[in-house]
Amino acid sequence: MIKRMLLLAWAVGGLALPLAGAASAQSYPDRPIKLIVPFAPGGPMDTMARFVGQNLQNSLGQPVVIENRAGAGGAIGSKAVATADSDGYTLLWGSSGTLSILPELNKRLDYDPKAFTPVALVSLLPHVFVVPPAVPAHTVKEFVAYAKANPGKLNFGASLGTPPHLMGALFKSLAGLDITYIPYKGAAPSIADMLGGVTHMQFDALTTLYPLIADGKLRALAVTSEQRWPALPDVPTMIESGYPTFPHNAWSGVVAPPGTPAEIVNKLNVTINEGLKSGEAQAALMKLSALTRPGSPQDFAAFMGDQAPKWAELVRISGASIE
């Protein structure tokens, strides 16, 4: 009799576990959510994360707190989410830099960057190929000819292992150019040196370089998006410029700790996608030169799976490592 009662209690308890999980998912969220941004405040990634966080807060009725945890190329903030509870209350603003590139640069990460639960792809971030006015090139073809006529005399700058560095290395490889890479600690000093004539070309985010292009301080030769950018209708794509394998956009999105329940992930995904459809969101992201690609968590997972080997190949081409 006692044995039968113990078995019954165990069975009821076992059934209660999934029921409790379902109830938790249905009531989610009932307290503040933390969205960790593994970059310093003020940059484009931080700005987008705050916009998405505000939309989540407005729709879900709970505060969404943005917490900046910069350092180690994004590994510090990423690890904080990788080791957090899988309850949907700690999320990561992920990107091509932290989820595709960093794992290839640093093979000694003490967390698994492939274990995050994909929630929603938020944006694609086209880059633009620019030169200072002193460089006598108005097209990619002209730049290649100029660089080949001056082997070893030109250089480009970017932070080690970032999309601008990897895109520059890819272009150098595809065009067969003898151009020197100069590492910088951030976009601002590398752009300042280009404006000062120290460096001669650069790939970087449209949101960063567009104001300088509009002011005539830099000349845009091509954009990395598959179609021309609306604000730069006369600037061809890298594809149009003779590099059909070059459509490499950086990207950003929201991921959760490993094992986050599907019900919570789906609720976050639907809420984020609905927010991205608004006119306000479209206008805000256009100011940041970002493209939206709403989709399911499964779509985001497939996208990341497709992107990882492409960025890995760029890391290999660049020879970059931070081990």
pLDDT at 323 (0 to 100):
60
Among candidate residues 174, 208, 223, the one where a domain is terminated? 223
pLDDT value at residue 3 = 45
Give yes or no: residues 207 and 254 share one domain. no
Q: Is the domain of 136 the same as that of 108? A: no
62 occurs within a structural domain? yes
Beta strands at 127-131 and 154-159: parallel, antiparallel or unpaired: unpaired
Query: Is residue 254 domain-shared with residue 278, that is, in the same domain?
Result: yes
Domain residue limits at 197: 127-223
CATH number for position 287 = 3.40.190.150
Question: Is residue 162 pLDDT above 50, yes or no?
Answer: yes
Round to whole Å and give the CA distance between 97 and 108: 16
User: Considering the domain boundaries, does residue 268 fall inside one?
Assistant: yes
Question: Percentage of the chain with pLDDT > 70?
Answer: 92
Residue 39 in any domain: the answer is yes
Q: Are residues 79 and 96 in the same domain?
A: yes
Pair 218, 212: CB distance under 8 Å: yes
User: Do 175 and 311 lie in a common domain?
Assistant: no
Peptide bond into 244 cis (omega under 30): no
Q: Is residue 241 in a domain?
A: no
User: Where residue 204 sits, what CATH number does that domain have?
Assistant: 3.40.190.10
Task: Report the distance separating Cα 123 and Cα 187, nearest Å.
Answer: 20
Q: Name the domain boundary from 171, 205, 223.
A: 223
Nearest CA among 158, 167, 238, 163 for reference residue 191: 158
Quick one: 118 and 153 in the same domain?
no
196 and 257, same domain (yes or no): no
Asked whether the beta carbons of 157 and 190 are under 8 A apart, the reply is yes
Q: Both 216 and 166 in a single domain?
A: yes
Q: Number of helices and strands (H, E) in the chain?
A: 11, 10
Instruction: Judge if 118 and 134 occupy the same domain.
Output: no
Q: Cα–Cα distance between 138 and 143 in angstroms, integer?
A: 7
Which positions ≥6 away from 146 have C-beta within 8 Å? Answer: 135, 136, 137, 154
Question: Is 11 contained in some domain?
Answer: no
Q: For the residues 97-107, what does the mean pLDDT come to?
A: 94
Identify the residue whose tokens are 């917490």.
67
> Is 202 inside any structural domain?
yes
Could you read off the pLDDT of 173-222 as tens digits, one per residue? Answer: 999 999 999 999 888 899 999 999 999 999 999 988 999 999 999 999 99
Asked if the model's pLDDT at residue 144 lies above 70, the reply is yes
- Give dist(CA 29, CA 313) in Å, integer: 40
Total domains present in the chain: 2
Q: How far apart are CA 8 and CA 258, in angstroms?
A: 32
- Whether residue 263 is contained in a domain is answered as yes
Alpha helices in 91-219 (DSSP H): 102-105, 140-149, 163-175, 187-195, 206-214
Which residues are 255's β-sheet partners? 92, 118
Backbone angles phi, psi at 110, to 5 degrees: -95, 30
Number of other CB atoms surrounding residue 211 within 10 Å: 10
Which has the closest alpha carbon to 195: 149, 253, 151, 134?
Answer: 134
**CA trace torsion 176, 177, 179, 184 (10° rounding):** -50
Stated pTM of the model: 0.85
Q: Are residues 216 and 133 in the same domain?
A: yes
Q: How confident is the model at residue 20 (pLDDT cuts 50, 70, 90)?
A: very low
pLDDT at 87 over 60: yes
256: which strand partners?
Answer: 117
Angle at 208 between CA 234 and CA 240, to 5 degrees: 30
**160 with 186: CB under 8 angstroms?**
no
Q: Is residue 309 part of a domain?
A: yes
Do 50 and 189 belong together in one domain?
Answer: no
**Residues 212-263: tens digit of each pLDDT:** 999 999 999 999 999 999 999 999 999 999 999 887 889 999 999 999 999 9
Regarding whether 268 and 121 lie in a shared domain, the answer is yes
CB 69 within 8 A of CB 77: yes
